[in-house]
Structure 1
Amino acid sequence: MKHKALYTREEMLKLNVETLKERTVSVIEIAEVAFRQQSKWSKTISLQQCVDSVEKILSLRDTFHILQLGAEIDRLTDEGAFKGPIQEILVTDLGMFGIDELFGLELAGMYGTIGKTNFGDIDVNKPLVVDRLNEDGKHEGGLCHTFLDDIVGAIAAAASTRVAQITNENEALKDPSVEEIKLDLDI
């Protein structure tokens, strides 16, 4: 039997959504974090734009790899599959561990410095689903989300940044001095 290692963007989106659902997270919850963050700066954005951006980000190969690996680490932690001190470090989501934040920074960094800045804001303030994931693991019998809370926050940060980039591009195109050109806004 041949094992599959490469997936289309559509397949990666579907698998990422399924993995998030297994770990108690929905696309709309992530979009709400992005909307909350970006609506402070622009009153013209919609929740649907944030949903579209979250789905776009979930279809990217780097996101796929980060999300699948992080969710699997959390799942294995739930099962007590790690040996030695790393099991306790992961179960307790030790603040000095930091590897989970590296996953988040890498993912958010696909959208530049602002993506990373937005991730920092979400990581510190833990809005909505990010807070729920962070707190869930701290309760007896709760799922471990050591990696997932940061990955979800990073997806929201990237989506927030993507919405801002598209909004700014659309505003720039309204300038009468800009020659009308067809751009592929598949960012």
Structure 2
Amino acid sequence: MSIHSKHIKSQEVEKAARERLEERGVPIYSIAEIVYQMQKPYNASLTLETCIESVDRVLEKREIQHAILVGVELDVLAEKNQLTEPLQSLIASDEGLFGVDETIALGAALGYGSIAVTTYGHLDKQKVGIIEKLDTKDGVQCHTFLDDIVGSIAANASSRIAHKLRDEEDGLPEEEVIQREQEHNF
């Protein structure tokens, strides 16, 4: 079997993506705290547990897992000074006009609709919660991609909650809410 035809099980990819987040200092609850902050004004009964569950569901999506793996890998290579120039300097300095990090994060948000896209834009500008910590350059770790990917995950989880709330407000039976969630990959 050639190296290009090796099948990698989905569970392995998801596990690796979750591990990368933890290794880089991003526990699930820290993303859920952003989701809570974004959605609480619209949902009085929202709990942090609901936000954690929503983040977990977002992390089940392959596109999100791939974004995490690619982004973290590039951040780590930049920390180790293992990229070629000028890419090394662009990523290590989080160059303002280098938009590939936002492009990957925005692409990951597109699957969750306009609420996710606009929420991601807000989070990218406002640097809410752990995103601010990741965006602050400490001279040791590089989070050029990770801060944007975390913003995308939080935006997607927020969108899931908003869509589910609307379905519930519309009086849809719980079975239909669950079915819509599955159909729309929310």
TM-score, with length taken from structure 2: 0.89
Q: Residue 139 of structure 1 corresponds to which residue in structure 2?
A: 138
Cα deviation, residue 83, structure 1: 1.3
Cα deviation, residue 2, structure 1: 7.5
Asked if the contact 2:28–2:52 (Cα under 8 Å) also holds between the matched residues in 1, the reply is yes
Asked if the contact 2:75–2:145 (Cα under 8 Å) also holds between the matched residues in 1, the reply is yes
- The letter for the 2-side match of 1:66 is A
- The letter for the 2-side match of 1:161 is S
| Whole-angstrom CA distance in 2 between matches of 1:181 and 1:78 | 47
Gaps of 5+ in 1: 175-179
The number of residue pairs the alignment matches comes to: 178
Aligned partner of residue 182 in structure 1, secondary structure = helix
Aligned partner of residue 153 in structure 2, secondary structure = helix
| Whole-angstrom CA distance in 1 between matches of 2:68 and 2:153 | 9
| Whole-angstrom CA distance in 2 between matches of 1:26 and 1:41 | 25
Aligned residue runs from structure 1 range 32-47, under 5 A? 32-47=33-48
Cα deviation, residue 5, structure 1: 4.0
| 1:182 lines up with 2:175 in the alignment | yes
**Aligned-pair RMSD on alpha carbons?**
1.7
Cα deviation, residue 181, structure 1: 7.8
Cα deviation, residue 16, structure 1: 1.8
Q: Residue 170 of structure 1 corresponds to which residue in structure 2?
A: 168
Aligned residue runs from structure 1 range 74-89, under 5 A? 74-89=75-90
- Deviations along 1:108-136, whole A, 9 cap, x unmatched? 1111111100000100000110000000x
| Whole-angstrom CA distance in 2 between matches of 1:5 and 1:35 | 37
Gaps of 5+ in 2: none
